[in-house]
Homo-oligomer: A and B are copies of this chain.
Amino acid sequence: MDWSIQDIAKFAGTTSRTLRHYDDVGLLPPSRVGSNGYRYYDELALVRLQRILMLRDLGLGIPAIADVLAGERDDGHALRAHLAWLQQERQRIDRQISAVESTIDSIEGGEQLMAEKMFDGFDHTQYKEEVEARWGKKSYADSDAWWRAKSDAEKAEFRTFAAELGFDWMVAAGDGVAPDSETAQALAKRQADWLSTIPGAPGYGTGAPTKEYFTGLAEMYVADERFAANYGGIENARFVRDSMLEYAERQL
């Protein structure tokens, strides 16, 4: 005794389309196919279908379902693999949930998005403590006052310049040029010139940063991941540092 595709589908709580799909992928061939091409299913097929649907509800994909149904004693393996998968998924979801929550909090608190903060990495005033510890409170205060006095347009321009420079560093690093190459040294010069325009920076007004300041910064770039991020990762930061040190040796 067997039944039509619709009967089986309704009984099992699924659709005839799904049954045809399972036939197509070889997961559940009909027990019989009429001369007219109609699919018919018997009790055995129905039992198999029930199992399939149960496993599907557990979240298994079609290949995994096939595995479970194929290996009589391999059940444990396929299901356990799926379990591990699920647990990993749960961790991912959990991380995303907390990340989304903190993002919402940030926005409500009027803070800017993380991504925006990134480019503010070029705003050295972010690193108050490091700056004060290395070059003194006055240095920081001067820089800070200078920065605050800028208009929004000026700030944007400053950021743009920083972004370009950081970017060009990265491109150079990606191209695999050497730290003592002309390209790298030109970038180091741009960086030095730029730094010397910032009040509070050691060397301000002399047209170039002091050697100590410049090499200190170079080391900081690799030591502090927040800086490294501005240059496209730690590897690039190392390239930047080496180029800057080379430049300091030669020019400062």
Interface residues of A (CB under 8 A from B): 1, 3, 7, 10-11, 43, 46-47, 50-51, 53-54, 57-59, 75-76, 79-80, 82-83, 86-87, 89-90, 93-94, 96-97, 99-101, 103-104, 107-108, 113-116, 118-119, 159-160, 163-164, 167, 170-171, 174, 232
Bound Cα distance from A80 to B108, whole angstroms? 12
Contact B58 A96 (CB under 8 A): yes
Q: Which residues of B contact A160 (CB under 8 A)?
A: 1, 43
**18 CB < 8 A contacts A-B:** A11-B170, A11-B232, A43-B160, A46-B163, A47-B119, A50-B115, A51-B113, A54-B115, A57-B96, A58-B99, A76-B104, A76-B107, A83-B97, A83-B100, A83-B104, A86-B100, A90-B93, A93-B93
The main secondary structure of chain A at its interface with chain B is helix
Q: Which residues of chain B come closer than 8 Å to A83, judged between CB atoms?
A: 97, 100-101, 104
Q: Are B114 and A54 in contact (CB under 8 A)?
A: yes
Please give the distance in Å from A156's CB to the nearest CB on chain B.
9
Write out the residue numbers on chain B whose beta carbons fall within 8 Å of the beta carbon of A107: 75-76, 79
List the B side residues contacting A43 at CB < 8 Å. Answer: 119, 159-160, 163-164
